Amino acid sequence: MIQASLTELAAALGARKISSVELTTLFLDRIDALNPTLNAFITVDHDGALAAARAADARLAAGTAGPLTGIPIAHKDVFCTEGVRTTCASKMLENFVSPYDAHVVGQLKAAGAVMLGKTNMDEFAMGSSNENTFFGAARNPWDTTRVTGGSSGGSAVAVAARLSPMATGTDTGGSVRQPAALTGVTGIKPSYGVVSRYGMIAYASSLDQGGAFGRSAEDCALLLTAMAGFDPRDSTSLEREREDYSRALNQPLAGLRIGLPKEFFADGMDDDVRAAIDAALAHYRQLGATTVEVSLPNAKLAIPAYYVIAPAEASSNLSRFDGVRYGHRAADYTDLADMYGKSRAEGFGAEVKRRILVGTYVLSHGYYDAYYLQAQKLRRLIAEDFQRAFEHCDVIAGPTSPTVAWTLGEKNDDPVQMYLQDIYTIAVNLAGLPGLSLPCGTGAGDLPVGLQLIGNYFDEAHLLNVAHGFQQGTDWHRRTPAVG
Ligand code: GLN
């Protein structure tokens, strides 16, 4: 059962081969057995999950079930959940219980999905390794001495190690795609505005976007269909018709034009990653696709632009954590300013403080024009590069990450090395485009390698189709780590 796809689980539930309570218990037991090693979950809600499972079983019996009713899910701990603490992996929010559900959480509740708990992440979604967490790093199930990728590392591990059949994440600069690649699962970040940010704790609002983790593109399509949709409570939510992201899964790939950005295939990618990517592209050619070289000349500016824009927005968003209304408050202080200062000094971790400092600096008088405004101009150039590339191809492909999962602690002393891990993912966020990572092979140490597919705006269903076509003829997405 733990290997089953969402469609298979729905069929088993529908045919009464298993109840949601039984299925939920199966996954809760796996979490109890493996989470002490993997640290994928910050909070496990045994009682809530079983209550939701009982309600799902009633719906299944009454014939009012949908495709996800009764199926367990894990939510990244950045999504607010009414009654269950939402920590954002920060000491600041260690004991914060939201009075409402995030839009995504509410949608999945309404669909009858059963929340198992909240997953580990980099604090406030700032990181690429899930090591910037107050709750201890999540561990890669393929090799527990290695990182999971970040920031949605816990959600990726939950799916990779079969602690949950599906999980939600968020992707500001790569946080769904990169951990998906490093743990061997499929993850999609839709176009900016497709998934409501309501109740998703803000990091960099113009880049943050909710996304889906699954064992396969087919599973991601089902989950994304439930997550997406217009929400008037998010001013950047797009007023579009609801979509069925599974609708195009089985379209043939003959004639597909895959663009390969020459900048992605220049220096920087490890040889083992390149070999897996080349083999995946050869498979696509066998399916009738053609590859064409394209250019993203400004892609090299994505990391510097991102590390001005994202910290700028973060410094503003995180000013709400002042110890007054909610979150950590220092025990001893002399006056209000001292209380603010001490609460923030104690509540935030080092990377979060670094970004608040950088963000405050680039927004300050005299530097705003030199940094922030320049970065916004670069953002436009990067978005235009993609549009020019899409004149010659239907999707863009390349690596998700330049390396396989590295050893815990290896890059912790050098923030720039860590930032460079997102070299292939960040431009996609700056442009607001959809991106997907699917497992396409293995590199050194038998560790997973992810292929990134980038589509034009609102091309999610097509991206999922391109990934599904690959998964129909390959088994990389079925490999399961031997943990426990
Ligand atoms: N690693 C990037 C950062 O640290 C992206 C994180 C994310 O997508 N949330 O900001």
Considering only CA atoms, which of 183, 173, 182, 199 is closest in space to residue 76?
199
- Residues with catalytic roles: 76, 151, 175
Residue 135: per-residue pLDDT: 98
pLDDT grade for 267, boundaries at 50, 70 and 90: confident
Residue 369, exposed/middle/buried by CB under 10 A (0-12, 13-18, 19+)? exposed
Q: Tell me how far the alpha carbon of residue 125 lies from the centroid of ligand 1, in angstroms.
A: 6
Q: What is the DSSP letter of 371?
A: I
Q: Tell me how far the alpha carbon of residue 151 lies from the centroid of ligand 1, in angstroms.
A: 6
Whether ligand 1 lies within 6 angstroms of the CB of 294 is answered as: no
Which two structure tokens, joined as six digits, stand for 68? 């996800």
Phi-psi region of 174 (alpha: psi -120 to 50; beta: other; left: phi over 0): left
Residue 268: per-residue pLDDT: 87
Q: Please list, in sequence order, all residues whose beta carbon lies within 8 angstroms of the beta carbon of residue 171, skipping any fewer than 6 positions away.
A: 152, 177, 187, 189, 208, 209, 210, 211, 425, 429, 435
Q: Cα–Cα distance between 73 and 223 in angstroms, integer?
A: 10
Three-class secondary structure assignment of 334-364: CCHHHHHHHHHHHHCCHHHHHHHHHHHHHHC
- Mean pLDDT value across the chain: 97
CB-CB contact of 303 with 420 (8 Å) = yes
pLDDT digits (tens, 9 = 90+) for 4-41: 999 999 999 999 999 999 999 999 999 999 999 999 99
Strands (E), 61-220: 72-76, 114-119, 166-170, 186-189, 210-214
Residue 161 has pLDDT above 80, yes or no: yes
Domains detected in the chain? 6-256 (3.90.1300.10)
Residue 484: per-residue pLDDT: 62
Q: Cα–Cα distance between 132 and 168 in angstroms, integer?
A: 19
Phi-psi region of 256 (alpha: psi -120 to 50; beta: other; left: phi over 0): beta
Whether ligand 1 lies within 6 angstroms of the CB of 174 is answered as: yes
Helix (H) or strand (E) holding 42: strand 41-44
Tally DSSP H helices, then E strands, for the chain.
15, 11
Q: Cα–Cα distance between 247 and 112 in angstroms, integer?
A: 21
Taking CA atoms only, the protein residue closest to ligand 1 atom 10 is 126
In the numeric block, the tokens 């953002």 are attached to 379
Residue 483 has pLDDT above 90, yes or no: no
Whether ligand 1 lies within 6 angstroms of the CB of 125 is answered as: yes
What are the b/e assignments for 228-262, b being 16+ CB within 10 Å? bbebeebeebbeeeebebbebbeeebeebebbbbe
Residue 175: per-residue pLDDT: 98
Whether ligand 1 lies within 6 angstroms of the CB of 175 is answered as: yes
CB-CB contact of 43 with 88 (8 Å) = no
Q: Please give the C-alpha separations between residue 272 and each of 138, 243, 383, 443, in angstroms, as whole numbers.
A: 24, 37, 30, 5
The CA-based angle 59-213-71, given to 5 degrees, is 15
Q: Cα–Cα distance between 181 and 403 in angstroms, integer?
A: 10
pLDDT average, residue stretch 58-73: 97
Residue 430: per-residue pLDDT: 98
